Amino acid sequence: MLVLLPPSEGKASVGRGTPLKPESLSLPGLAGAREAVLTELVELCRGDEEKAREVLGLSEGLRGEVGKNARLREAGTRPAGEIYTGVLYDALGLASLDAAAKRRAARSLLVFSGLWGAVRVTDRIPSYRCSMGVRLPGLGALAGHWRAPMADALPEVAGGGLVLDLRSSAYAAAWKPKGELAERTATVRVLHAPTRKVVSHFNKATKGRMVRSLLTAGAVPAGPAELVEVLRDLGYVVEAEAPGKAGRSWSLDVLVDEVH
């Protein structure tokens, strides 16, 4: 099972630590595309601060993120699972998983990123600020920049198993499974049951708890239909829609009553 996660805007500080070693990151097929984004981002943030802030969509209160990006090559690093914070990652609680569940997380979780493309939670990266919605002056829209290298690298990473897609739309734009791979992909929405509306906070929190439940249970569903049954066994209320055409993914709605 491969679980596709969005990153978080909020990230932990790093402090002292081993600087970035790009060659050590997972998915080496993305190395060239990573280097292109990293080079332009660092140069942008070492130049005109106001221009960098505008390109990155940063408020005045986040001005310090520009300087952080300018020092990415020298900054300390931590495992990506420690760098990403926020509602989904708080609910997932990687640090408090038992040893077996942590090994499953290392194998199955893949975090998408405007800067790195995608990384494993064990990959050591610095804290940074660069969302997938950014359009860099030289490279253009990052989602478009990542499509070709992702299309080459991700099918091999997915292998022959289930793909559980929990990404937001901005990150899903960088790679969409196709063909037979799409047919064993399940995309998930979390809906407030009484209103059938998506609300950001509990959407993220429920996705984090759901991944934690799967990791803790040691569940390895073979495909989307089996995933639906596993989630129901774990106590989730799930409505599933199988694809109507070949080459389409499954759609799963997880229904929750309380907004928290």
235, pLDDT greater than 70:
yes
The tokens for 148 are: 């070709």
- Structure confidence by residue, pLDDT tens digits, 236-259: 999 999 998 999 999 999 999 875
pTM over the 0.85 mark: yes
Q: How many residues does the chain have?
A: 260
**Strand partners of residue 240:** 252
What's the pLDDT tens digit per position in 124-154?
999 999 999 999 999 999 999 999 999 999 9
Q: Quote the pLDDT of residue 259.
A: 57
| pLDDT-above-70 percentage for the chain | 98
Q: What is the pLDDT of residues 184-221, one digit of tens each?
A: 999 999 998 888 887 777 889 999 999 999 999 999 99
Backbone phi, psi, residue 111, to 5°: -100, 125
